[in-house]
Amino acid sequence: MNLILLGPPGAGKGTQAQELERCHGLVQLSTGDMLRAAISSGSDLGQEVKSIMDSGALVPDEIMIRMISERTDQLDCTNGFILDGFPRTTAQAEALDDMLDEKGMKIDHVIEMSVDAQVLTKRIAGRFSCAGCGAGYHDEFQKPAKDGVCDHCGNTEFTRRSDDNAETVRKRLDAYEAQTAPLLPYYRGKDSLRTVDALAEIAEVTAEIETVLGGA
Ligand code: AMP
């Protein structure tokens, strides 16, 4: 089963992708995480994309399409994957369709995580993740059970994204409205789009997604 999670920054795509990974044995393909890994490794790609990401703009389509094409060729994707943060433009969506066609793969569900734009800034500003296993947390909505200790791996180091500041967040939301929101009618037209209320509690959103996957 291959899925796309579609929604603005802060909608909870990463959180739900981690749940889906755990419960369904799918692999989370977060293009944002891949780009951040490229930056941390100091690769040519990382150097090329760092300033773009820090500005809140989108990385060029060719780079992203190549990245996803190479990633979906890897063995761990044969059981199914969750696209988190891709596609983000119509050109990426069209390229994805062609690419999957060629590989004999397809997308089974496109899930829109719908959320009021006003709450996004608050959600994004408070988020952080475990430096060890990547588990996501939030200052207000999802604290670790024991302060300063990861619930999943016991690590005590946490990180915050450099692009999670108010100014960059505004630009990322603008980029979503201008470039990614047009994908909603694109997928609606193919009758593959289902919408979940991403403002609900995390567990409720997970349950709603399960209902979609169950074919309801
Ligand atoms: P994310 O972690 O998904 O919020 O992505 C963080 C940043 O990475 C975005 O603001 C973009 O600069 C870049 N990025 C991630 N995925 C894509 C994509 N599919 N297309 C273009 N840029 C992307």
pLDDT digits (tens, 9 = 90+) for 87-129: 999 999 999 999 999 999 999 999 999 998 778 888 888 999 9
Q: pTM, whole model, 2 decimals? A: 0.89
pLDDT digits (tens, 9 = 90+) for 15-35: 999 999 999 999 999 999 999
Testing ligand 1's pocket by substitution, the residue of 30, 31, 83, 183 carrying the most ligand atoms inside 8 A of its CB is 31
CA 190/CA 45 separation, integer angstroms? 33
CA 5/CA 195 separation, integer angstroms? 10
Does residue 72 sit in helix, strand or coil?
helix
Given a cut of 50, whether residue 183 has pLDDT beyond it is yes
Query: CA of 206: how far to CAs of 59, 134, 210, 211, in Å?
Result: 29, 19, 6, 9
Burial of 213 (0-12, 13-18, 19+ CB in 10 A): middle
Give the residues surrounding ligand 1 with Cβ less than 6 Å away.
9, 31-32, 35, 52-53, 56-59, 64, 85-86, 88, 92, 172
Residues in the chain: 216
Testing ligand 1's pocket by substitution, the residue of 6, 59, 66, 90 carrying the most ligand atoms inside 8 A of its CB is 59
